[in-house]
Amino acid sequence: MLKISQLHYLFLATLLSLSCAKTVHAEPNTTLTVIVNGVRHKTGEICFRVYDSEKGFPMSNSSEVQNGCTKINGTSVKKVFSGLKPGTYAVAVVDDQNGDRKLNKDFFGIPKEGFGISKNPTVSVQTGTPKFRNSSFKMTKNTTINISLKYSLDP
């Protein structure tokens, strides 16, 4: 009788320890490929900023989750961002011709360099700067997006 109750306690202890153990679920990382079309220049760089929230979007160079520049080598440029967690993202790009890695504007705030935003929203005097919620996309797996460069505001 004593051996059966000892086995019973051992079995119960094993079950309890298994039920208390935390299951580790590693979040898979995803890859975002951004293709920029409509590049007009043959020199310079296309600079990319990937944001995961509205904070700083699309102008801040300190609140993005990833960034980088790629030398221009044709009318399209591709950049791959790895290690992104599944979530909601938006991308801003600039045709950086003077090497300062930011979008230069004139006295009235109108861009002097080519620019683009994920989901290619209308950018005009009436619409103003695109909002994160209108430019963002959900990423649950490896994703490719296309951004068309604009060299002036939309009518």
Q: What is the mean pLDDT of residues 68-89?
A: 96
**Neighbour count for residue 47 (Cβ, 10 Å):** 23
Contact 35, 78 (CB under 8 A): yes
- The single residue listed with the structure tokens 């944001």 is 51
- Which pLDDT band, with edges at 50, 70 and 90, does 12 fall under? very low
What pLDDT does 10 receive? 47
What pLDDT does 109 receive? 85
Distance, CA of 64 to CA of 139 (rounded, Å) = 16
What pLDDT does 118 receive? 98
What pLDDT does 155 receive? 80
Q: Which residues contact 141 (CB under 8 A, 6 or more apart)?
A: 30, 86
Q: Which residue in 116, 143, 103 sits closest to 38, CA to CA?
A: 116
| pTM, to two decimals | 0.81
Q: What are the Cα distances from residue 50, in Å, to 34, 40, 42, 141, 149? A: 10, 22, 24, 16, 16
- Which pLDDT band, with edges at 50, 70 and 90, does 125 fall under? confident
30-78: per-residue pLDDT in tens? 999 999 999 999 999 999 999 999 999 998 888 899 999 999 999 999 9
H-assigned helices in 21-151? 132-135
